Chain A
Amino acid sequence: MAVVFEPTKGLLDVPTHYCPGCTHGIIHRLVAESLEELGVIDKTIGVAPVGCSVLAYNYFACDMHEAAHGRAPAVATGIKRSLPDSVVFTYQGDGDLAAIGTAEIVHAAARGEKITTIFVNNCIYGMTGGQMAPTTLPGQVTETSPYGRDVKLQGHPIRVSEMLSTLDGAVYVERVSVDSVANVLKAKKAIKKAFELQIEGKGFTFVEVLSICPTNWGLSPRESIKWLQDNMIPYYPLGVKKDITQQEVK
């Protein structure tokens, strides 16, 4: 019988702790497949965040470093500067990256650190149990915004990809989603490209992945996907925000 689909060598053969319906598993696989296809698993170091993916070091088949909350881009900076021939990525959620770690991500991007950041945005603090995040949409109900986020009181969501795309050190910034087969394939392409550009030594690469949190959104996985499509994509439009290789072509 022909083999049509196999586990990726970039992930260990272990169960994950993620909630049913969570899209972290898909995103892990896309990162792992990219590393496998590029043949760099053995020279890759991933930096795990604090948040739902805190245990990511248990799943990826490369060497991993667990960073303190928000500090993954700074830790990754040190690792890459110490081992310039390695491939270094951070895998961070929106609480880790867009709240407590805002300074780290902005300055790692501004310095053009030759690392790749996979930013998983699900508009909520997942691991702590569904509190409002900087990425929480206006009107979105969370544990700490029970009547919906009021932008007059709690400010506006941060569009991280757009913000980072203004920095010259960032060479590739794209927002993708894993809500459909077509979008999963696009996400894979973006993640692989981000790693390719890192390997070519171009500079800082960043892929934001819109993700769902059925548990804390209080929706089924199917409803969650629809909520992402109806609410998140309009606020966080998909697509390439910056790509210096395209600018070079132009």
Chain B
Amino acid sequence: MAKRVSLSGNEAVAFGMKQINPDVVAAFPITPSTEVPQYFSQFVANGQVDTEFVPVESEHSAMSACLGAAAAGGRVMTATASAGLALMWEMLYVGASMRTPLVLAVTNRALSGPINIHNDHSDTMGARDSGWIQLYSESAQEAYDNLIQAVRIGEHKDVQLPVMVCYDGFITSHAVENLEMLEDADVKNFVGENRIAPYALLGKEPMSMGPLDLPNHYFEHKRLQAEAMKNAKNVILEVAAEYEKLSGRKYSFFEEYKMEDAEAAIVVINSTAGTAKYVVDNLRAQGKKVGLIKIRVFRPFPAEEIAKALKNVKAVAIMDKLDGFSASGGPLFNEVRSAMYGVADGKIVTSYIYGLGGRDVTSVNIEKVYSDLFSAIETGKYEVYNYLGVRE
């Protein structure tokens, strides 16, 4: 039987880690992720988990130690945010290319500078091409559910990739919500008691991990990595189906909210989806055909599926909680618009950069986006590149 509990996002993630009971956690604190390793270290101190907890000197060393532990065959987890993720950068790529499954919980926080501790997605979106699977979470419930599924996804024999579980700093990490936790035994059964590493140091065969890989093999190595990321798509759905049986909660690449007959849609990531659903409900009550797509899986990017989901809209606004500084819209905008090419042509597609550095995003802001979309549909006149809620 599942338990109803009231927890913050960070607590939910820490309790999820406790139920997963990893072999090694190496971590360094950073706001607003600090609580995750802190709560977890208390479970270690109380003997409630069997984990080796290593409080290392930096995030760079946290990820280095995690990679070493995973190379040795362990099930490994850590947590970070913002500049901490940036300091891990070098090792993110190493971990993905070494095909070391490990789970990293990221509380999304703006990346310096100027220095800022509040939420946006500039940290993990910058790491989008590091070769990690990225799962995003609207709520503490989703962060918890994604964390548990992440273990199975990353460790799957056809995948063997590290996974980032992302949720919004403070908004989700610190707000307390009611959620449902699985029973300890169910989580243990779901993830399996130990990681089964197809290859590991001191395994059955002599092993070198991470050696130099020059022009004669590097490309093939990367090609296999790309294939693993493609394989992850099926595995994500399989794991989600199995998780649904256990939890009753349904997960896919993204959530479609009132999209069946929607004329104007928003595509968004993480907690803002909650605000946007409220707006969708209100506008629907007024008879307006609006819908929402909330991205859960950004890597691998479900291009075909998103394009298909947007096939019948007249206009779509794609919202990025970071500025990619490409001078042509945020990364979510560019990838969704590109996915639509040839599948969902002739639509009005606009970009909204919003909420940078924790700037509040209210229902009024979201209503404006829908209102812009309807105006574009009616008049044919619109701006492609927009900033929402900024003083100019």
A interface, CB within 8 angstroms of B:
43, 45, 47, 54-55, 57-58, 63-68, 71, 74-79, 81-84, 86, 103-104, 106-107, 111
Contacts and interface: CB of A to CB of B under 8 A. Distances in A.
B65 interface: yes
Contacts of B58: 103
B345 interface: no
A79 B69 CA distance: 4
B69 to A, nearest CB: 4
A76 to B, nearest CB: 6
Given A78-B66, A81-B65, A103-B58, A66 B26 contact: no
A74 B69 CA distance: 10
Given A81-B52, A103-B58, A63 B68 contact: no
Contacts of B68: 47, 65, 67, 74-79, 82
Q: Give the 5 A-B CB pairs with smallest separation, nearest first.
A: A78-B68, A74-B64, A78-B69, A82-B72, A78-B65
Contacts of A81: 24, 26, 52, 54, 65, 69, 74
B161 interface: no
Contacts of B67: 75, 78
Contact of A65 (B91, B206, B208): B208
Nearest to A107: B57
Nearest to B210: A66
A45 B72 contact: yes
Contacts of A79: 68-69, 71-72, 201
A63 B208 contact: yes
Contact of A83 (B64, B72, B212): B72
Interface in B62-95: 64-74, 76, 90-91, 94
B212 A66 contact: yes
Contacts of A54: 212
29 contacts: A45-B201, A55-B211, A63-B201, A63-B202, A64-B211, A65-B68, A65-B71, A65-B209, A66-B212, A68-B91, A71-B64, A71-B91, A74-B26, A74-B56, A74-B64, A74-B68, A75-B68, A78-B54, A78-B67, A78-B72, A79-B69, A79-B201, A81-B65, A82-B23, A82-B24, A82-B70, A82-B76, A86-B202, A107-B57
Task: Please classify the interface of chain B as helix (H, G, I), strand (E, B), loop, or mixed, using the class held by over half of its residues.
Answer: mixed
A88 B386 CA distance: 55
Contacts of A67: 64, 68, 210
- Chain B interface size, under 10 / 10 to 19 / 20 to 34 / 35 or more: 20 to 34
B101 to A, nearest CB: 13
A71 to B, nearest CB: 4
Contacts of B185: none
Interface in B206-228: 206-212
A68 B72 CA distance: 16
A78 B65 CA distance: 4
B60 interface: yes
Interface string B244-259: 0000000000000000
A67 B61 CA distance: 11
A32 to B, nearest CB: 15
Nearest to A75: B68
Contacts of B66: 78
A84 B24 CA distance: 11
Contacts of A74: 26, 56, 60-61, 64-65, 68
Contacts of A111: 54
Interface in B235-281: none
Given A77-B54, A78-B54, A82-B73, A65 B201 contact: yes
A103 B56 CA distance: 10
Contacts of B23: 82
Given A77-B54, A81-B24, A64 B208 contact: yes
A112 to B, nearest CB: 12
B70 A78 contact: yes
A82 B69 contact: yes
B61 A104 contact: yes
Contacts of A43: 202
Given A78-B65, A107-B57, 8 more contacts: A57-B208, A63-B208, A65-B71, A77-B56, A78-B67, A81-B54, A103-B60, A106-B57
